[in-house]
Amino acid sequence: SPKQLPKDYQAEFAWKFYKQISQSFETNIVGSPYHIREAFACLSNVSLPSNTLSKEFQKAILLPRTNLIHTRYDLQRERFQCRDELRVATLAAGLGTKHVLDGKFRSTMDHCRMFQTRVATDHAIKMTQKLNGVFWNASNNEMRKFLSPTDIDVDWDFLIINSVILSAPWKYQFKPSDTTVCPFYASKSKQIYTEFMQVEGYFRYGYFSQWNLAAVEVPFQDGSPYSCLLMHSIDGSLSNMMKNYDHNRFREIYQKLNEGKTTIIMPKSIIRVSLKSSNILKSLGLKTPFTEKIWKVFNSPNGASLGEFMQKVTIQFESGVGQIVKNIPGRDLGNQFIAHEPFVFTVFDRQELTPIIVGHLIEPTKTEKPKSNHLMCQNPPRWTFKG
């Protein structure tokens, strides 16, 4: 039984994180709780021993002070680094002219594979230009103008920024759906015409009336350490579906999926979201604000203040260049996962079932193309929309 497995604090934090940000966003959301928690695990190594951080982190991000968590991140880092589907860049920057990054902080960030820089100016615009230039290089020219001057307070001692970009190719190639442009039912009263794509093949699928959801696993190309799970609610309410959701349920759902002939239809979309972790962690129980001097990362006996940990995540639902699925014989329709309504997605580590990215799509990319024959589009959801 999944309930007998050891507690996965990283995974439990991922679902706490998702539930919290889903309350703050009325539209599409995506975040990488894995990389936020990984960074704070590194920072815990350079926090002042006299502060109250330990108990608060235990509550907010479920971070017991143990070497086991650092060993796990090290092993996962090695496994994830061999692929480039998920491109991650993190920069820790000392700000202002008062302090110099000390050796322990530098070695800790090196170990965690974070880039480091120091911006010796007290001018917000110059800080922003410098940091954006450094991060442009650190992200292999993928993240341009990450920060604006309004993101920075010149009184901060240091800042961490993190970029996560997923463009993993699917194992099987999606193609334009037979109707291509159809309505997506964003709410009971709102329809958005968007481009859909579809694939028919043998996928792991499950319909769980007891949990008010249907789920399907959409694998990435062979050899990828990641996979993707899509879930939509049966009654039309994501909040009802996720109300009692935790990692035990995720594992149980995953174990109960059965492979069979399945058609997946979903909208083509790109989701980009920026998150500031201070408010998220505060809502999860971190009472000591970032502005308290609790990290001893500079040559100062009183520690230093983290200004903010900012994250930007980009995920693409595109057709890709996967294997072309041959026509499957038989007249049986098989399972149908038709995402013409809001759905939750999770990119997770296939080996340990740990969520890396979580989010939901409520409003897909709107298309300006002519509408398809509406009668040929998938029928509207049969449920009474409650979300």
Segment 288-304, tens digit of pLDDT: 888 888 887 777 777 88
pLDDT at residue 215 greater than cutoff 60: yes
Contact 119, 132 (CB under 8 A): no
Extents of the domains making up the chain: 23-82+86-166+271-316, 175-268+322-376
Mean pLDDT across the stretch 350-358? 94
What dihedral do alpha carbons 23, 25, 28, 34 form, nearest 10°?
Answer: -60
Query: Tokens 């769980």 label which residue?
Result: 208
Per-residue pLDDT of 165-178, as tens digits, reads 998 788 888 888 76
Mean pLDDT across the stretch 349-354? 93
With bands split at pLDDT 50, 70 and 90, how would you rate the model's confidence at 144?
confident
Q: Which residues lie below 8 Å from residue 121, measured CB to CB, with a gap of 6+? A: 96, 97, 127, 130
Cα 180 to Cα 183: distance, rounded to the nearest angstrom:
10
Of the listed ranges 99-108, 117-126, 225-234, 347-356, the one predicted with least confidence? 99-108
Per-residue pLDDT of 86-128, as tens digits, reads 899 999 998 887 777 778 788 888 888 899 888 888 888 999 9
Cα 157 to Cα 339: distance, rounded to the nearest angstrom:
45
365 DSSP 8-state letter: P
pLDDT attached to residue 384: 44
pLDDT attached to residue 313: 96
Q: What's the fold here for domain 175-268+322-376?
A: Alpha-1-antitrypsin; domain 1 (2.30.39)
With bands split at pLDDT 50, 70 and 90, how would you rate the model's confidence at 1?
very low
Contact 39, 281 (CB under 8 A): no
Q: Which CATH class is domain 23-82+86-166+271-316?
A: alpha beta
Contact 335, 264 (CB under 8 A): no
pTM (2 decimals)?
A: 0.90
pLDDT attached to residue 330: 65
Q: Give the amino acid at 145.
A: K
* Residue 14, helix vs strand vs coil: helix
Mean pLDDT across the stretch 327-339? 79
Contact 241, 207 (CB under 8 A): no
C-alpha angle 62/64/65, rounded to 5°?
145
pLDDT attached to residue 146: 93
Tokens of 45: 């190594």
List Cα–Cα distances, 70 to 8, 31, 109, 379, in angstroms. 14, 22, 13, 49
Q: Which residues lie below 8 Å from residue 209, measured CB to CB, with a gap of 6+? A: 234
